[in-house]
């Protein structure tokens, strides 16, 4: 009996049956052949090609089992890393996604008999963190990539530096508060001198600033003596500044220094911007472009990335575009204006970013307002 036509009902039914997953017990890993039923599997086991594969496997069975075990382990961990990352997930969820691929390595050809044994082995070997719950076994991938470890160490070092800065600031504030508190507690008490008249013939003279009042000759003489440290007492009598006032003055000086180098224009050639005005229509609204030329400091010729159209836009009609961490940016305003840097991280909550200038790492403000923008992606 000949083979059925390609479009015959029997051929179509065979193709439908061959789709999707079949029973695992009717799969031959050595030949990588899936049979649909017990009779097909029995016929395959009696075939010449299967017998040849068995002869090859009988020469060194451990070699083939180790190969299939390594393939199963590598593909399982790759799926766990790529699909779930370092999240904690049930092992059955990962396994079901893994076996959805028809070409996967079956577990019955590996050194592990059950998924539980394989999960325990992953925990013992240090590939994953595993824990048993009433709902089953959970796994959590341990990322040992050198680049990931370097980023984690850098983040820990940066966090430690921030904590050191906070501790120094707190120590400084506590010191200022203590000084202010001590200044209030130690109040200088005035020292009074006794008025003495050495002889009856002396005149009474009062020193009142630059002028002196002299009485007549018949009056007794009496001199009002001032303390020798009047100048130092007058300085000490000045009201001492509190810790809060000193901190406010320090912040005002920093702001004044920053405002001295900040300008109200920031457009630069070869930076990526986004159109925020709706006056040009929906065609250009929220679209990105590259600044080709800056005119009169506040306007620029922009080439749109999508359409290639060239527009002349004012800086109030656009805003900067911050790229992903790891990309190069250009500082548009402030002390490091016109300097390129590498974007290390973005703090959206505080509208700030961390940049690296060669070997110097700084934290730079990134404000939403185009008037006060600080950094922008470089084309």
CATH numbers and ranges of domains, the chain: 20-141 (1.10.10.2030)
Tell me which of 44-53, 212-221, 293-302, 335-344 is least confident.
Answer: 212-221
Cα–Cα dist 377/158, whole Å: 23
**Cβ 360 vs Cβ 368: under 8 Å:** no
Mean pLDDT confidence for 171-176:
84
Q: How many residues does the chain have?
A: 379
The confidence score (pLDDT) of residue 225 equals 45
Q: How many Cα atoms within 13 Å fall on the side-chain side of residue 131? A: 6
Q: Is the pLDDT of residue 266 over 50?
A: yes
34-38, 76-80, 233-237, range with greatest mean pLDDT: 76-80
Cα–Cα dist 133/119, whole Å: 13
258 token code pair: 């920053």
Q: In sequence order, what are the residues at sequence separation of 6 or more whose Cβ sits closer than 8 angstroms to the Cβ of residue 243?
A: 173, 175, 176, 177, 179, 180
Mean pLDDT confidence for 372-376:
56
Mean pLDDT confidence for 22-34:
71
As to burial, measured by CB atoms within 10 angstroms (0-12 exposed, 13-18 middle, 19+ buried), residue 118 is buried
Cα–Cα dist 291/270, whole Å: 5
pTM above 0.75, yes or no: no
Mean pLDDT confidence for 342-371:
66
Cα–Cα dist 343/294, whole Å: 24
Eight-state DSSP code of residue 139: E
The confidence score (pLDDT) of residue 206 equals 61
Mean pLDDT confidence for 342-369:
68
Residue with tokens 């595993």: 130
Return the SS3 of 44. helix
Mean pLDDT confidence for 263-280:
85
Residues in a beta bridge with 310: 303
Of the candidates 273, 268, 285, 277, which has an alpha carbon nearest to the alpha carbon of residue 338?
Answer: 268
Rg (CA), the chain: 42
């Amino acid at each position: 009996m000949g083979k059925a036509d390609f479009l015959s009902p029997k051929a179509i039914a065979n193709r439908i049956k061959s789709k999707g997953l079949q029973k695992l017990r009717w799969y031959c890993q050595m030949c990588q052949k899936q049979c649909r039923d017990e009779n097909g599997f029995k016929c395959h086991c009696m075939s010449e090609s299967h017998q040849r594969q068995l002869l090859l496997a009988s020469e060194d069975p451990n070699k083939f089992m180790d190969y299939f075990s390594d393939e199963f382990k590598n593909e399982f961990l790759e799926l766990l890393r790529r699909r779930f990352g370092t999240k904690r997930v049930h092992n059955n969820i990962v396994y079901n996604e893994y076996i959805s691929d028809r070409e996967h390595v079956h577990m019955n050809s590996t050194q592990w008999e059950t998924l539980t044994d394989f999960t325990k082995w992953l925990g013992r070997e240090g590939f994953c963190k595993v824990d048993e719950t009433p709902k089953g076994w959970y796994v959590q991938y341990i990322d040992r990539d050198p680049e990931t470890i370097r980023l984690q160490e850098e983040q820990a070092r940066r966090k430690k530096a921030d904590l050191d800065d906070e501790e120094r600031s707190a120590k400084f504030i506590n010191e200022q508060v203590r000084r202010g508190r001590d200044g209030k507690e130690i109040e200088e008490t005035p020292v009074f001198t006794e008025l003495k008249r050495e002889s009856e013939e002396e005149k009474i003279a009062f020193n009142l600033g630059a002028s002196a009042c002299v009485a007549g000759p018949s009056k007794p003489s009496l001199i009002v003596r001032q303390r020798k440290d009047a100048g130092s007492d007058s300085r000490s009598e000045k009201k001492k500044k509190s810790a809060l006032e000193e901190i406010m003055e320090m912040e005002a000086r920093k702001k004044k220094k920053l405002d001295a180098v900040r300008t109200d224009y920031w457009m630069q050639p070869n930076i990526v911007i986004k159109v925020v005005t709706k006056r040009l229509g929906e065609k250009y609204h929220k679209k990105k472009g590259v600044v080709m030329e800056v005119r009169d400091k506040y306007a620029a010729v922009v080439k749109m990335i999508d359409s290639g159209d060239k527009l002349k836009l004012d800086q109030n009609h656009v805003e900067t575009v911050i790229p992903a961490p790891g990309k190069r940016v250009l500082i548009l305003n402030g002390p490091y204006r016109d300097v390129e840097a590498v974007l290390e991280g973005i703090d959206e909550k505080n509208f700030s970013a961390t940049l690296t200038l060669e070997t110097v790492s700084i934290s730079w403000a990134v404000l939403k307002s185009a008037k006060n923008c600080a950094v922008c992606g470089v084309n």
